[in-house]
């Protein structure tokens, strides 16, 4: 039986390596290697049309949005599209019981009505440069990982300072191919970004958690912003004197529609993949990281959701927090399911066995790569307990209990009380003491039940087990009564006569400091194993690339701009089932559950549906909502433009599919899909639903 499993795993991996399109997150500066294949697929442009240092190109229209998503410029006046879930935090920050933009949506009729969003920024990608030679030349085989890291840090600082010049640009040197290559990335940041329009949640988040990561999908996942610049054309902080950005390039928008097998490409900023992860790493991911996240966040989210359903104010306050938590909670569930179902660990073991045989066949290879897999095995096994405890500490208390995370942030500002006051305003605006208190009780009990006492932060011994004789509820009740971090009025009274020494005696502050102290101890215990992991990964991937010199390897995602190409298409998730490649407005009405927070349909949308007035946005009497393609994306690609072969915008990427949640570890060509909202649905919502045709008129529409 074992031989059969290994044979099947080997066959699957071989099949993956043979598929030319679809898989891969490619660096724009190296697209010449893919150009021939892209042309065969239906690409009508050239690599220079996408990435060009001498004239405007497509990359100049695509931005990092807010540090965690992608957006695209679609007009000559700085109009920007991204996903609704990417703009969700900004929309929530402007919402209140009086102006509930989450529930009702928002559409600015002119520039003056557009809403500034404090802290929101976009970054335009300027250029990329391979600086591997400058850094790798300083290494030798006798160096420890710490010594290598020091060289990287020192050399990178010099390179970055030169590239940033007078501060106009943000320059970063980043590792690629697990420390085998290094590239300089240069960006220009604009920090005046304003909310222009958003559909209500009942459109922008239609389906919520139930439909998240699932096809068929009927979500109008988009929101609209605008980037502003100073009157003299420079990046600037918010000012009422700023004017709409005049971009180097804006994407033309196609309403010609999509059909099966159409060429597609997505350019964006994918966050993180681990395609070269070994079987040892998969064990840690499944058994510790994902399993812990599923359990801890599930409990915390249940408490939040109960309070959100009971109180509209709390729903507004916690909607963005809940979404941020639940997205990768559900992803972790799907990823574990996919990794197990597709037997990815066995696939990785086949690669590792082949690697060992290749290394053993040559003494020089043995010398160079012989301990790569041994280092990785030792790292993952040796740090098992520390990874478990460290994640639990972070998920339950470091980030899970709000007054602890608030106190920890205040600790970094003790010498700047003005900054603490600003932080407190933002914190208490979206804070519910009763909700956090319920969460604290559940999280502390959970941590104590599931962890060894040697990993308990100090406050558990001194306060819970000491003062309160092990009664967690009594401790929590006392904490939330006495701590100024849980009480808005008392906190701002205290800030009138700020006392650094006194705030350090607050029970929530002391608990937060003991959590940080234990986290530091665990990190220290992890260090030697982390070093083994880094070295093992670097050697393993270097060996793989040497073992197969004919393969066009791509680096794992690391939040840098990438291009992925593929085609529109359907798929077969299981025996006897075929999923079509598109959904329509009919499906929204079929899913409707009146009054349900996930599947309620706005009256205005139902009215328009009955009239079937789709105008130029319809197709054969239908209005397309979403479609699937086999592009290779991950978190960070949310909001990315999906374009046709001419570089015209046909939709916004916003999700992956449930059957291929293992995709960050192993691309599954038969199953993996990108879920996109059709640009025609986006424009129809703007035009017909919202009455914001003036925004559509800004765009260059290709008919």
Residue 165 confidence class, pLDDT cut points 50, 70, 90: confident
Q: Give the residue-averaged pLDDT of 211-225.
A: 97
pLDDT on residue 164 = 95
> pTM here?
0.93
Is residue 407 within 8 A of residue 512, CB to CB? The reply is: yes
Residues 6 or more apart in contact with residue 86 via CB below 8 angstroms: 65, 66, 68, 69, 70, 71, 223, 638, 639
Is residue 261 within 8 A of residue 569, CB to CB? The reply is: yes
Structure tokens at 138: 């300083």
Is residue 566 within 8 A of residue 37, CB to CB? The reply is: no
Determine the CATH number of domain 2-121+191-274+556-702.
2.40.10.120
Q: Tens of pLDDT along 376-426?
A: 999 999 999 999 999 999 999 999 999 999 999 999 999 999 999 999 999
Q: Tens of pLDDT along 505-540?
A: 999 999 999 999 999 999 999 999 999 999 999 999
Which percentage of the chain shows pLDDT scores above 70? 97
Peptide linkage before 432 cis (omega within 30 of 0): no
Distance between CA atoms of residues 426 and 631, nearest Å: 38
Alpha-helical regions (H) of 361-416: 363-369, 372-382, 384-393, 402-411
pLDDT on residue 70 = 98
Q: Spell out the domain ranges in the chain.
A: 2-121+191-274+556-702, 279-541
Q: Give the residue-averaged pLDDT of 32-52.
A: 96
* Residue of 9, 655, 605, 632 lying closest to 266 (CA atoms): 632
pLDDT on residue 166 = 85
Distance between CA atoms of residues 552 and 565, nearest Å: 15
List b or e across 635-656, with b for residues whose CB sees 16 or more CB atoms inside 10 angstroms: bbbbbbbbbbbbbbbbbbbbbb
> How many of the other CB atoms lie within 10 Å of CB of 320?
19
Distance between CA atoms of residues 26 and 637, nearest Å: 13
Terminal Cα distance for the chain, rounded: 57
Q: Is the dihedral of CA 509, 510, 514, 517 positive or negative?
A: positive
* Residue of 540, 19, 519, 11 lying closest to 274 (CA atoms): 540
Q: Give the residue-averaged pLDDT of 74-78.
A: 98
Structure tokens at 346: 């066995």
On the question of pLDDT at 11 being above 90, the answer is no
Is residue 206 within 8 A of residue 218, CB to CB? The reply is: yes
Is residue 267 within 8 A of residue 641, CB to CB? The reply is: yes
Distance between CA atoms of residues 239 and 217, nearest Å: 40
Query: Could you give the residue numbers annotated as active site?
Result: 85, 221, 638
Alpha-helical regions (H) of 483-625: 488-496, 500-503, 507-547, 585-591, 603-611
On the question of pLDDT at 19 being above 90, the answer is no
Is residue 206 within 8 A of residue 199, CB to CB? The reply is: no
Q: Tens of pLDDT along 183-192?
A: 999 999 999 9
pLDDT on residue 6 = 37
Structure tokens at 458: 């100090």
pLDDT on residue 5 = 37
Q: Give the residue-averaged pLDDT of 123-142.
A: 96
* Mean pLDDT of all residues belonging to the chain: 95
Long-range contacts of 450-455 (CB under 8 A, 24+ apart): 450/392, 451/388, 451/389, 451/392, 451/393, 452/385, 452/389, 455/389, 455/392, 455/393, 455/518, 455/522
pLDDT on residue 4 = 36
Q: Tens of pLDDT along 322-335?
A: 999 999 999 999 99
């Amino acid at each position: 039986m074992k031989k059969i499993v290994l044979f099947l795993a080997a066959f699957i991996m071989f099949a993956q390596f043979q598929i030319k399109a679809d898989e891969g997150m490619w660096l724009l500066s190296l697209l010449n290697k893919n150009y021939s294949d892209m042309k065969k697929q239906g690409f009508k442009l050239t690599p220079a049309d996408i990435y060009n240092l001498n004239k405007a190109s497509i990359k100049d229209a695509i931005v990092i949005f807010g540090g965690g998503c992608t957006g695209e410029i679609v007009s000559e006046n700085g109009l920007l599209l991204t996903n609704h879930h990417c703009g969700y935090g900004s929309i929530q920050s402007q919402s209140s019981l009086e102006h509930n933009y989450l529930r009702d949506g928002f559409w600015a009729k002119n520039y003056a009505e557009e809403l500034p969003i404090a802290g929101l920024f976009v970054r335009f990608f300027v250029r990329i440069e391979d600086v591997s030679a400058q850094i790798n030349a300083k290494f030798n085989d006798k160096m420890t990982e710490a010594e290598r890291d020091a060289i990287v840090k020192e050399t990178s600082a010099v390179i970055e300072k030169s590239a940033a010049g007078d501060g106009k640009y943000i320059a970063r040197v980043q590792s690629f191919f697990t420390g085998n290559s290094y590239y300089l990335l240069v960006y220009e940041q604009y920090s005046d970004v304003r909310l222009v329009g958003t559909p209500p949640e009942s459109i922008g988040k239609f389906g919520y958690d139930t439909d998240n990561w699932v096809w068929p999908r009927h979500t109008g996942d988009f929101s609209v912003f605008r980037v502003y610049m100073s009157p003299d054309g420079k990046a600037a902080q918010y000012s009422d004197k700023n004017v709409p950005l005049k971009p180097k390039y804006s994407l033309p928008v196609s309403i010609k529609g999509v059909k099966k097998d159409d060429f597609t490409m997505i350019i964006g900023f994918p966050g993180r993949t681990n395609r070269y992860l070994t079987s040892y790493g998969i064990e840690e991911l499944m058994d510790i990281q994902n399993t812990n996240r599923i359990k801890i966040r599930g409990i915390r989210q249940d408490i939040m959701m109960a309070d959100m359903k009971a109180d509209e104010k709390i729903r507004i306050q916690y909607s963005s927090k809940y979404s941020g938590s639940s997205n990768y909670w559900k992803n972790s569930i799907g990823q574990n399911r996919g990794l197990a179902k597709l037997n990815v660990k066995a696939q990785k073991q086949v690669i590792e066995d082949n690697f060992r045989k290749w290394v053993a066949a040559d003494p020089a290879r043995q010398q160079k790569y012989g301990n790569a897999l041994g280092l990785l095995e030792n790292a993952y096994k040796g740090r098992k307990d520390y990874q478990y405890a460290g994640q639990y500490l972070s998920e339950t208390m470091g980030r899970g209990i709000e007054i602890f995370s608030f106190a920890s942030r205040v600790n970094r500002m003790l010498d700047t009380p003005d900054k603490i006051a600003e932080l407190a305003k933002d914190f208490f605006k979206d804070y519910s003491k009763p909700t956090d208190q319920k969460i604290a009780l559940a999280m502390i009990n959970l941590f104590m039940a599931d962890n060894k006492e040697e990993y308990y932060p100090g406050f558990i011994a001194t306060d819970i087990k000491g003062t309160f004789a092990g009664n967690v509820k009594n401790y929590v009740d006392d904490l939330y009564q006495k701590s100024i971090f849980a009480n808005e009025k008392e906190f701002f009274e205290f800030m009138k006569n700020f006392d650094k020494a006194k705030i350090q005696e607050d029970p929530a502050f002391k608990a937060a400091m003991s959590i940080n102290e234990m986290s530091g101890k665990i990190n220290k215990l992890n260090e030697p194993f982390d070093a083994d992991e880094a070295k093992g990964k670097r050697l393993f991937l270097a060996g793989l690339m040497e073992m197969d010199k004919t393969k066009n390897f791509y680096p794992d995602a690391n939040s840098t701009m990438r291009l992925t190409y593929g085609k529109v298409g359907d798929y077969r998730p299981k025996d006897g089932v075929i999923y079509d490649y598109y959904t329509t407005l009919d499906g929204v009405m079929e899913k409707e559950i009146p009054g349900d927070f996930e599947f309620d349909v706005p009256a205005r949308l139902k009215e328009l549906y009955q009239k079937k007035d789709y105008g130029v946005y319809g197709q054969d009497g239908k209005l397309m909502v979403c479609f699937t393609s086999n592009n290779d994306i991950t978190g960070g690609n949310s909001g990315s433009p999906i374009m046709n072969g001419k570089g015209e915008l046909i939709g916004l990427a916003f999700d992956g599919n449930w059957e291929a949640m293992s995709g960050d570890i192993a691309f599954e060509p038969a199953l993996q899909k990108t879920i996109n909202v059709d640009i025609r649905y986006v424009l129809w919502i703007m035009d017909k639903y919202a009455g914001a045709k003036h925004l559509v008129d800004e765009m260059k529409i290709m008919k």
